Chain A
Amino acid sequence: MNFMASKQPENSLLGPESDSQRTLYPYVTGTSVVALKYKDGILMAADMGGSYGSTLRYKSVERMKPIGKHSLLGASGEISDFQEILRYLDELILYDNMWDDGNSLGPKEVHNYLTRVMYNRRNKFNPLWNSLVLGGVKNGQKYLGTVSMIGVNFEDNHVATGFGNHLARPILRQEWHENLSFEDGVRLLEKCMRVLLYRDRSAVNKLQIAKITEDGVTISQPYSLKTYWEFSAFENPAQGAIGSW
Chain B
Amino acid sequence: CVAIAGADYCVIAADTRMSTGYNILTRDYSKICKLADKCVMASSGFQADVRALQKQLAARHLIYQHQHNKQMSCPAMAQLLSNTLYYKRFFPYYSFNVLGGLDNEGKGCVFTYDAVGSYEKVGYSSQGSGSTLIMPFLDNQLKSPSPLLLPAQDAVTPLVEAEAIDLVKTVFASASERDIYTGDKLELVIINAAGIRREYMELRKD
Binding site for B on A (CB under 8 A): 115, 118-119, 122-123, 150-154, 156, 165-166
Contact = CB atoms under 8 A, between A and B. Distances in A.
B51 to A, nearest CB: 7
Given A115-B51, A119-B52, A123-B91, A152 B29 contact: no
A153 B23 contact: no
A36 to B, nearest CB: 13
A152 B47 contact: yes
B21 to A, nearest CB: 11
Contact of B29 (A118, A151, A154, A166): A154
Interface string B15-28: 00010100101101
Given A119-B48, A154-B18, 8 more contacts: A151-B48, A152-B20, A152-B46, A153-B47, A153-B51, A154-B29, A165-B25, A166-B23
Interface in B1-58: 18, 20, 23, 25-26, 28-29, 46-48, 51-52
A153 B23 CA distance: 15
Contacts of A152: 20, 25, 46-48
A173 B51 CA distance: 26
A115 to B, nearest CB: 7
Nearest to A160: B25
B23 A154 contact: no
Contacts of A166: 23
Interface of B: 18, 20, 23, 25-26, 28-29, 46-48, 51-52, 91
Nearest to B30: A154
Contacts of A150: 48
A154 B48 contact: no
Contact of A122 (B20, B23, B28, B48): B48
Contacts of B46: 152
Contacts of A119: 48, 51-52
Nearest to A155: B26
B33 to A, nearest CB: 14
A147 to B, nearest CB: 9
B23 A165 contact: yes
* Top 3 A-B pairs, shortest CB-CB distance: A151-B48, A156-B26, A152-B47
12 contacts: A115-B51, A122-B48, A150-B48, A151-B52, A152-B20, A152-B46, A152-B48, A153-B47, A153-B48, A154-B29, A154-B47, A156-B26
B138 to A, nearest CB: 29
A21 to B, nearest CB: 19
B26 A154 contact: yes
A115 B52 CA distance: 10
A58 B91 CA distance: 39
A156 B20 CA distance: 16
B49 to A, nearest CB: 8
B184 to A, nearest CB: 11
Q: Which residue, B26, B29, B46, has most C-beta atoms of chain A within 10 A?
A: B26
A156 B51 contact: no
B44 to A, nearest CB: 13
A85 to B, nearest CB: 17
Contacts of B25: 152, 154, 165
Contacts of B47: 152-154
B18 to A, nearest CB: 6
B100 to A, nearest CB: 23
Contacts of B18: 154
Contacts of B48: 115, 118-119, 122, 150-153
Nearest to B52: A119
A168 B33 CA distance: 31
A123 B52 CA distance: 11
A165 B20 CA distance: 11
A123 B28 CA distance: 26
A59 B6 CA distance: 62
Given A122-B48, A150-B48, A156 B91 contact: no
Contacts of B26: 154, 156
Nearest to A120: B52
Q: Which residue, B18, B23, B48, B91, has most C-beta atoms of chain A within 10 A?
A: B48
Contacts of B91: 123
